Amino acid sequence: MIMACPKLDHGQDIYMQKLVHLIDHTNIKSLHVVMMEVPCCFGLSKMVDAAIQQTIRKIPVQRTIISIGGEIRQE
C-alpha cells in the first residue's frame, strides 16, 4: 500500500520514482487506486498514469472513488 496526498505532500516526483521502480522491479500484476471524490484527490490518479507511462512493464490500473461520506461512488 502506498498512501499519498497530491495536494499536501511535497516531492511528488519521489512518489513517481517509487511507483516506476515498484512496477518495473517487482512482480506486481496490477494497481488499485482508491481516492476520495474531492478534486485534489484526482491528482493521485494522474500521478499513477504518469508513472505508468514511464515504466517498461505495463500493468492494469483499477480505480475506486469514495464519497466524502465513505460510500463507494465508482469502481
Residue 70: predicted pLDDT: 93
Q: What is the pLDDT along the chain (75 residues), one digit of tens a residue?
A: 778 887 787 878 888 899 999 999 999 999 999 999 998 888 888 989 999 999 999 999 999 999 999 999 988
Radius of gyration of the chain, Cα coordinates, nearest whole angstrom: 13
3-class DSSP state for residue 63?
Answer: strand
Q: Which CATH superfamily is domain 12-74 in?
A: Response regulator (3.40.50.2300)
Residues forming a β-bridge with 66: 36, 72
Q: What pTM value is reported for the model?
A: 0.81
Q: For residues 27, 33, 34 and 35, what is the CA-based torsion angle, rounded to 10 degrees?
A: 150
What the block records as the C-alpha cell of 47 is 500521478
Residue 59: predicted pLDDT: 95
3-class DSSP state for residue 38?
Answer: coil
Residue 33: predicted pLDDT: 93
